[in-house]
Every structure is written in C-alpha cells, then in structure tokens.
Structure 1
Amino acid sequence: MSRPAAVSEPQAGGATDWVVCRACGRLLYAKRLARNLRVCPECGSHHRLTAGQRLEQLLDPGSRVDLGFPVPQGDPLGFVDTKPYPQRLSEARSGTGLEEAVVCVRGAIEGVPLIAAVMDFRFMGGSLGNAVGELIASAAETALSERLPLLIVTASGGARMQEGVIALMQMAKTSQALRELDEAGIPTISLITDPTFGGVAASFATLCDVIVAEPGARLGFAGPRVIEQTTREKLPEGFQTAEFLLRNGMIDLVRRRAELRPAIAHLLAAGTRRPSGRRAVAEPRIVRDPTLVPERDAWEAVQHARDLRRPTTLEYISLMLDGFEELRGDRVSGDCPAIVGGIGRMAGIPLVLIGYQKGHTIAELSARNFGMPVPAGYRKSARLMRLAAKLGLPVVTLVDTPGADPGVKAEQGGQAVAIGENLRLMAGLPVPIVAVVTGEGGSGGALALTVADEVLAFSGAVYSVISPEGCAAILWRDAAAAPRAAEALRIGARHLLELGVADGVIPEPPGGAQSDAAAAAAALRAALVARLEELMSHDIAGLLSRRRARIRAFGRVPA
C-alpha cells in the first residue's frame, strides 16, 4: 500500500542543494521541487507542507492576517512516557516555531474572503488535543460571527494520547462548531492532506460541506497497521488513499496541488453567493399552450428521445455553466456515475445542478450504467440538494434516464427507500427547483429528480410511468406492441403539457437537440435563467406553498 511521500534532507552540491524523493528514489534539485509546489516532478508524489507553506500557496498575496487566538496551556493528566508531556510540547514548539499543531488566519482566495485553519503534521504528528480543538472551534466561531466560509486543512495522526479523554472530547467540540455553521448556512470546505487519521478524520475533517483531497492523501479512522494487525488481512492496494475514497463515495474531489486554488475558489464563489456580472442570455422561448407543440408519432418520439447523439448532462454543463465543480459520493457507500452534480454559475447565478448521465458509445454507456442510478446516486443527489438548501442556492435537475437500476444489488442497497427519500426531500426543499426532461424520463427513477417548482420538457422528450416495451409485455403480453403502448401512454411533450405534468416545453433546434448541441444548450440556458430569476423573487413560504399545491393537484377530482 502507499506510504506518505517524503524527501531526504538537502545535500550540499556545490552551488546547489539536492534532495532524494523517497517515493521514487529520484535525485531532485531542491529549488525545482520548491517551484513545483513540493510535488515530485518525476513521480507526482505530493510531499508534506508546513502550515506556512500551505497558506502561502493557497491565499492571495498579502491577505493573511493571523487571528491570534490564545493557545490553551496545560497537562491535564500529568502524563509521562519516555519524557514528560510539557517537555514534548516545548520541543515541538522549538522545532516548528509554532504554538500548536494548527494555524488560524483570516485571508482570501482569488478575492473571496474566508477563515482558514491549517494543521501542521510536524507538531506532534498534528495530533488533536485540547489546544487544537479550541483553536478549530474558535476559527469556526469567527467564521460564524463574520459570516465567512471556513476552510480547514487537515494533517493528523489522530487524538493526542498525552491528554487522554480530554483529547477525545475535542471531537465533539469541533463537530458542534461545524453544526452551528450548518445551521447558519456558512459554507465549509475541508482539504485532506496526508495523513489524516483518527479523531480528526472522525470529526471536522469529514463534516464539511465539500471534502477535497490531494492525490495519494490517506484518510481513515483506524490506521492501516492497526487494521492489518486486528483483522490479519492484507489490505488492498491504495487502501484509504484519496483515490480509493473517491471511488467509494467518501470525498468529493481529488485535485493536484497546482489545481487547488482555482478549485477552492470556484466552490467559495458559488457557495458564498457573491454577486457576479450578469452575462447576456437569449430571449427564452417556453411554450405553454399544448396546441402549439407539434404532434408526432409516439413511437417515433420514443426513438428520438433515446437517440444516443443527444447531448448529455455533462455536455450541457460545459456549454451552460461557468466555474463548475463536480462533487462526488454519497458519503455512505459509493459514487454512482449515472448521476452527476455539483456547484457552478449560470449567467452569474450560483446554483447546484444535478443530472442523469448516459453517453454516446457503448463504452460510455456501460461506464455510466446506461444512465440508470443505483441507490448511491439518489443519496448523492440528496446530499447535494441539502447542500443547496444550506447555502440558499437554487437547484436545477436534468432528466434523461430509462429508470432506476433494476438489479439485485440496487434492491439490496435500498433503491425504493432512496427514491422515496428524494421525493420527500424535494417536496420541502427551501430553495427554487427547476427540473427539465431533456430526453427520456423513465418511471420513478426519473421522478426522483423531477419534483420541482417548475417542470419543463424539451419538445423531443418523453416521460412515462413505464417503458413502452415494459407496458406492452405486461398488458399486451407482446413486446412487439411497444408502439401501440407508447401511443396509449401519451408520453410525448405535447401530452405532458396537456396533462399538467410539464409546465412548459422548450422547442428543440431543427433535427432535434442531437443535431445542434450548442443551440439546444442556448435554448435550455435561456429558459432556466428566466425561470430561476422569477422563482428566486418569491419568499420561501410562498415558494413551498405553490410547489405543494402543484403536486397536490395531480389527478385531483374537481369539486
């Protein structure tokens, strides 16, 4: 399994100093390593940074102001191992020039002000003791009082044993501080560096809104040596690394050190709802009158909606949004590739966008499970919607799916529960929601992201309780009756408008969205911006009342 990257001490070499990368064994010019942000240019290993180096790399020049919190002193247990605890503290202070294992500052990243708490592994392994817990909590309280986002950079071996149960209590203290930021709608970001274990991993490191990690950074509650000794099992390659955690849905992003500043800046810019320049948007065209939507053969409409050339969610995102950062994982069991989502800006409006992702080739479709989510996908979308609610950001969903994954594992993972939870969540989410059926809307799997203040549909989209093939097999007992079933189900855009399931239809370019992705994206963007601006003008109580009345009215018998 991977080990933390490190370099040897510089070796004098005439006018230059050289270091050896312990990850790959290469001899590196020290100044070259420093210019490369202490990332090995040969193997890419991210070597540890001091708190000062980290702040210098992340913050805008000249923006750092130390918060100057008093650092608690004391030896609550009178602890002595090979030397007294006060002596260890004194040696750590002397060796690092720091008062404790975390540095708390006020600063800015690409002009966005924030509070930052940055840990330094050199100070007693970045261990979490009373002083560290107090400083993290004080940083959170400052962020709360000044309504600034909080960035926490972690590097820790766990709780400080020399302080016993007092160190353990810091997990509760810091978790409470983050809860108060949640209640106040203050954004929080955690940057995981190698290593982050124990009490830090099980508290503030993993409780932030967004978790970013450097490549190869390890995160876990128990260390790998403890796990191996306890279970007597060989751990898988890359266990507890950032890449392992990303695949298993525990973190949002893995970014190389050179990419951290812009990635964090994008997240801060959206999460803090800072005003930005309003970009020009075409005049929206949304058809409300069903008679103005051309009639088409139902089976032809199904084939049109399923056309693999139609733009995917990620393509729409690239054409419509600025500064988009995809967020991954449900923080429970995994990351479902059939649903993508994240934070970005559309014509200056910060928002959360979530959508089903298919593909154009067999390889892409297979990698995305043909756009059929498993429970982790619905839980991921729920997590992102809760984040939108905390930050007060509107939600846009793009729907193009045959339906939820019908497999055994999905059922074992609670597919029905995951879908039901989304329906309940969206019914009361206290921010505007606009859903758009961009292609195929299949059954409850599609409905799980389509409970909204306004539902739009592309003119070439379809939306149904079941696929025509499934309906034909059940009711006609003949799969060949699918065209007949499609006609009976009334699933085209015109019928959706007639039935009140869709509130408006977005006309597609000639030949359909698949013929001109840029034109389709422009039409979609114009419609979304218009509807979001109108919905954002409503107070939350009025918004929720209108949404619930809309849902309650489906199929209601007139008085």
Structure 2
Amino acid sequence: MAETMLTRGTPEAHRPHWVLCPGCQAVVYRRRMAGADGVCPQCGRYSALSAPERLALLADPDTLEPLDFELPDSDPLSFVDQRPYLERIAAARDATALREAVLCARMRIGGTPAIVAAMDFRFMGGSLSLAVGEMITLAAETALAERAPLVIVTASGGVRMQEGVVGLLQMVKTAQALQQLNEAAVATVCLVTDPTYGGVAASFALLGDVIVAEPGARLGFAGPRVIQETIRERLPDGFQTAEFLLERGFIDQVWPRSALRDRLGRLLSLATRSRSDAYTEPVKQVAVREPATLEQRPAWDAVRAARDIARPTTSDYLRMILDDFEELCGDRVGGDCPAIIGGLGRLGGDPIIIIGHEKGHTPTELTAHRYGMPAPAGYRKAGRLMRLAAKWGLPVVTLVDTPGAHPGLEAEQQGQASAIAENLRLMSTLPVPVVTVVTGEGCSGGALAIAVADRLLVLENGFYTVISPEGCAAILWRERSAAPEAAQALRIDARSLLEMGVADGVIPEPPGGAGADPVHAASLLREAIRYELAELTTLDPAGLIAARRDRYRHFDGSTDRRAGRAADLVTASFRRNS
C-alpha cells in the first residue's frame, strides 16, 4: 500500500515502501521520493516536509543542535468541541512525535551560524497557538542573544481556533519579536512553504528582511474558497501561489528545494558581512579626476553613444563585476517593476547592495523592461533594498541608465512623484556609503531617485541631465530637431559634469565605447567602484551623512565645488577620530 498523509507519523520500520503523489497520482518508491527531498520525480510536485526533515535539509552536516524550549501545556479556554482540546493535542503528539507545531534548532547553513524555526503542518494544521507563538519568540530571542540570523520556515492554516483570542494575540507577540531583531540589525529570512495562511501569513511570515518561497507554495490571509464564495468570482489561475506573489512584488524569490541550503547559505553570508578571503587583489584608481585630461567633444556625441543598444545593461554588468549575486524582488506593496533590478552581491569579496536601471538589448527585452523607465514599484523596491543595506551595514552601489521615470497614467495613479521624493529623503540619510555610476543616460528625477550619493561617477560616454535633449529642444527651441544644440547648452556630457563638480570622476571606456568591449568596460567599472568604496568605508556613518548633506546643500555648479570633496573627507574623518 502507498503512503498517505495518515501514515506519515508511522514508525520507520512500519512505513510502506511506496508513496502516492498527490499531484499526478503516480506510485513512487518511497526512498526515491526521499532522495529527491519530497519532490515527485514524475511531475515535480512538492510534497510537504516534516519539521525534522526540513531542519535536516537546511543544516550543514553535523551542525544541527535542537533547541528544547520547555513549555507547559496550555488550554486557556478549556475548549471542547467533539472532543477536549487537550486530547487533540495529545493525538497530534502521538502522530507526529513533536511537542508542538514548530521545531527550533541552532545550526550552520553554508557555514553561517543561524537559528531556525520550522513549522510542521501535520501538527493541527501548523496552527499558531500560545506555545507556537512562544517558541517562535524564544527562537528570535536566542538569535538576538547570539547575533545570529533567524530563519523561519512557515507552514500553517492560521491561528488555532481552540485558543481563541489568546492564539490571535500571538500574531502581535511574534511581530514584536521580529521587530526587536530589526532594531538590533539581526538578519531575518522567512521561507514560505505550502500552505501558509491566516494569522501566520499576516504576522511573522511576511516580516522577514528577505522572503523566499518554494515553487507552488500558497500564501494568503483568506483561503481561496472563502474568497471565491464571498466575491462570487472566478479567481485567476495560480492565485496565491509563490509565482503569483513574486510577480506582484510580495516575495523576493522562488527557490527550488534542491537549492535551498546553498542559496540560503550564500544569502546569510552576505547578510552577516562575511568577507571572502579569495579576493585580495589591490585596488587602483581608474576614474579620471581632471577635466582637462578628457577629450572635448560635442555633447550630442555622448547622447548618441549612451543610447547605443549594444552598451552593457545593468544585468550585464552584474554578471561581469560581481563575484556573487542574489536578486531580490518586489516592493512588498503590490508590484515588482522590471525597469529596476537589484539585490545582494560581492564586489572584490565584499558584500554590497546593488541597484540599477535595466533596459535590455532586443525589442522584446526593451518592451519587457519598459525601456528602463521605472514605475513607482521600481523606486519603492529600490528604497526597500536601501533600507536593508542600512540595517545590514552594507554599502550601496547604484547604476543609472534611464530616459526618465515612466510617464504613464498608471504610474501617476500609483504615486510616481511620492515614490521619487521618498527615495531622495531616504538616500540623504543612509548611514552607509553610496556610490552611483551613470552608465548610460541619466535623465530627470527618474535618474536622481537612485543617485543621491557620496560619490557620483560617469562613464565616458554617459550623460546626466534634467530633461532629455529632445524634450528641452521641443519646449525651449520649439523644435525637437534642435536636440544637439540643447544637449550642448545643458552641458550634459561627462567632461562638463566633471567640470561643474556634479561628477567626482569619469570612468574611461574602451575604444569604440563600452558596447565594443563589454568585458573591458566592466573591468574598469569594477575597479572604479571598488576604489571609491575603499575610501568611503573608512568613514563613520555620521561623517558620511554630514558630508552627503553638505554636498547637496552647497552645490552651485561651480568648478570650486570639486575642491570641496577633499574638505568633506577631512571633516568626516575629523568627526570620526575626535
């Protein structure tokens, strides 16, 4: 006979040799299914893992140490339905060999110490009870005491009804526990598994710094049956699945089960600022600081070169300049704009947060990425990643290449101006180094929204301006054909930007431009960023913020402003050392 949900708690010696896949109904040899970590080899459907199986899956070999939190039995309402509540708990314990619906442990994941709390749906539907809330909270407090990242694996139908409002209030207790970790800058990751509903979804499951999910995992506050019966409408295909939520910006990534330990380990090593010893090459300055050493040429030439479809995009640069990268998606409000991408990576072995405009090369890619013109969700995603950088103490690097913010009706309805304004305020007060590079075109507030930086560099063929030359020509010259004259008048080219003190340096490009030799261009970009970060990371947060504010408070476009850069560093260093 094949194994079913009813036989999951059976001792190993008495368990059947075959299991029935609930997806394709194939009968699969149990050891084969176990070897695939519960993923059906026939249809790829994910079967639920028990909490012990989940902990074993995530832990590095020989590092798993259970955390046995002592908790008294609780029946706050003396609840009885068809049977007493305490009898139901006893039956769940017999069936699962667990004390409650969550199991906690100390372990290493990819070499990084972590505290993990894994929920088990077999125990009364993984419901949130007084005991479960207390164990999640104790796990968080242990992570706080040890300064170790907290990983929570969710699987729940919601709050346990038999505990009434006592169970309901566990939502607040667990939310407070994660907020304490947030205030203490301790990393938190939530792994959503199928299913995660109700009070768990509406509390700790969606409060992690990073939220990832297994393929097909369902997550929501109300279940689809309740929703459908309430609104009397057919729900969209894939409703509340991980893929559905990723597209709408509520989670960061969907990871296959086979890659969980590796990718989670990489993420945690970045979150804990673990440096790779493999990268010890010296840092050299490649950016040009003196305008006189740059060729003087028509500004319109820079515009045409910056718009060359062959130029590397942000995604191209990420592949070439980073030693590791984990993309993080979504604004956690309801969108994930494809015109801005970002995430965690290593630059020369050091963890950073990197964010940039994305265009693409082909007509299909350009359309998919909205020609690099972000909607409000893109700016809110960028802001979320910057706040994460501030919490984790990681430098921020932004790559600017946009014709401007998206000018559509939908963008205005979603608060385009508000999203840009919030980023300007946020970036002005980030307590970590910020380096911006204009890699192509940088137009209007759409560029500035991710470019409030301690250092601003421009690629030799990049440009930076308040409005596109064509837009300026149409308004002031009343002819778009006057765009070359407008570009010259606006002084948008790299040499002019360096002369005015807008740019701190110009990164040379290979002969023929970055598109002619993307690898060489990426190498120069990488070195230029590393040089700036090496200087900035020696400064304290207060000094960084003070110098950044001074940069914009006193900027007047004069060449004298360039000389103020050294003074800013001296002032910041004095504040740090005094």
TM band (smaller chain): over 0.9
Cα distance, 1:232 vs structure 2: 1.3
Deviations 1:264-303 (A, max 9, x none): 1111011001232134256331111111121122112101
- Corresponding position of 1:506: 507
State the Cα distance separating 1:322 from its structure 2 match: 2.2
Q: Is the 1:118–1:154 Cα contact (8 Å) retained in structure 2?
A: yes
Partner of residue 435, structure 1? 436
CA gap 1:37/1:281 in 2 versus in 1, 3 angstroms = farther
1:484 positional shift: 1.2
Which residue matches 2:175?
175
| SS state at 2:205 partner | coil
Please show how residues 310-459 of structure 1 align to structure 2 within 5 Å: 310-459=311-460
Report the TM-score when normalising by structure 2.
0.93
Q: What secondary structure does 1:72 align onto?
A: coil
| Deviations 1:381-421, CA, capped at 9 Å, x for gaps | 00000000000000000000111000000001000000010
Quick check: 1:337–1:377 contact (8 Å CA) kept in 2? yes
Partner of residue 197, structure 1: 197
Q: State the partner residue of 2:461.
A: 460
Partner of 1:3: none
Q: Find the residue that maps to 2:121 and give its secondary structure.
A: coil
CA contact (8 A) 2:110 2:266 kept: no
- Which residue of the partner structure matches residue 94 of structure 1? 94
Q: Which residue of 1 aligns with 2:248?
A: 248
CA distance in 2, matches of 1:456, 1:424: 21
User: In 2, are the aligned partners of 1:337 and 1:367 still within 8 Å (CA)?
Assistant: yes
* Contact 1:401–1:441, Cα closer than 8 Å, also in 2: yes
* Cα distance in 1 for residues equivalent to 2:283 and 2:435: 18
* Matched residue, 2:35: 35
**70-79 vs 549-558, which moves further:** 549-558
Aligned residues of 2:502 and 2:557 also touching (Cα < 8 A): no
Q: What is the CA deviation profile of residues 25-46 of structure 1, one whole-angstrom value per residue up to 9, with x for unaligned ones?
A: 2232222211111111222111
Report the CA distance shift for 1:7/1:512 in structure 2 as closer, same or farther (over 3 A). Answer: farther
1:520 has 2:521 as partner: yes
Partner of residue 146, structure 2: 146
Q: Which segments of 5 or more consecutive residues in structure 1 lack a partner in the other structure?
A: 1-5
Distance 1:495 1:130 in 2: 64
**What is the letter of the counterpart of residue 138 of structure 2?**
S
**2:328–2:342: 8 Å Cα contact kept in structure 1?**
yes
Decide whether the 8 Å contact of 1:209 with 1:387 is kept in 2: yes
Contact 1:8 1:21 in 2 (8 A): no
Instruction: Give CA-to-partner distance per residue, 1:415-445, whole Å, 9 cap, x none.
Output: 0000010000000011110000001101110
280-289 or 183-192, which deviates more: 280-289
In structure 2, the partner of 1:303 is 304
How many residues matched?
A: 550
Partner of 1:543: 544
Distance 1:85 1:447, change over 3 A: same
Separation of aligned partners in 2, 1:72 and 1:385:
42
> Counterpart of 1:515 in 2: which secondary structure?
coil
Partner AA of 1:362 in structure 2: P
Q: For the Cα contact (< 8 Å) 2:283–2:531, is it kept in 1?
A: no
For 2:297 and 2:201, the matched residues in 1 are separated by: 56
C-alpha separation in 1, matches of 2:5 and 2:455: 56
- Gaps (5+ residues) in structure 2? 9-14, 562-578
Quick one: which amino acid aligns to residue 495 of structure 1? Answer: S
* 2:231 paired with 1:231: yes
1:323 Cα shift? 2.4
Give CA deviations for 1:351-385 in whole Å, capped at 9, x if unaligned.
10000001110000000000000000000000000
Change (3 A) 1:221 1:16: closer
Distance 1:437 1:239, change over 3 A: same
Please, which moves more after superposition, 377-386 or 539-548? Answer: 539-548
Following superposition, the deviation at residue 8 of structure 1 comes to 9.0
**Structure 1 residues 320-329 or 169-178, which shifts more?**
320-329
User: Residues 328 and 341 of structure 1 are in contact (CA less than 8 Å); yes or no, is this contact kept in structure 2?
Assistant: yes
How high is the TM-score relative to the length of structure 1? 0.96
Task: Answer whether contact 1:282 1:522 (CA < 8 A) is retained.
Answer: no
SS at match of 1:437: strand
RMSD (Å), alpha carbons? 1.6
Contact 2:283 2:530 in 1 (8 A): no
- Structure 2 equivalent of residue 280 of structure 1: 281
Give distance in 1, aligned partners of 2:311 and 2:81.
67
Q: CA deviation at 1:16?
A: 8.9
Task: Give the deviation of 1:55 after TM superposition.
Answer: 0.9
AA in 2 matched with 1:479: R
Q: 1: CA distance between counterparts of 2:282 and 2:223?
A: 52
Partners of 1:72 and 1:130 within 8 A in 2: no
- Show the counterpart of 1:155: 155
CA contact (8 A) 1:338 1:358 kept: yes
SS in 2 for 1:205: helix
Asked whether the 8 Å contact 2:500–2:557 carries over to 1, the reply is no
Distance in 1 separating the partners of 2:513 and 2:283: 19
Between 1:140-149 and 1:296-305, the stretch displaced more is 296-305
> Which residue identity lines up with residue 251 of structure 1 in the other structure?
I
Equivalent-residue separation in structure 2 for 1:117 and 1:20 (angstroms): 28
Farther-moved stretch of structure 1 (478-487 vs 329-338) = 478-487
Identity of aligned residues (%): 60
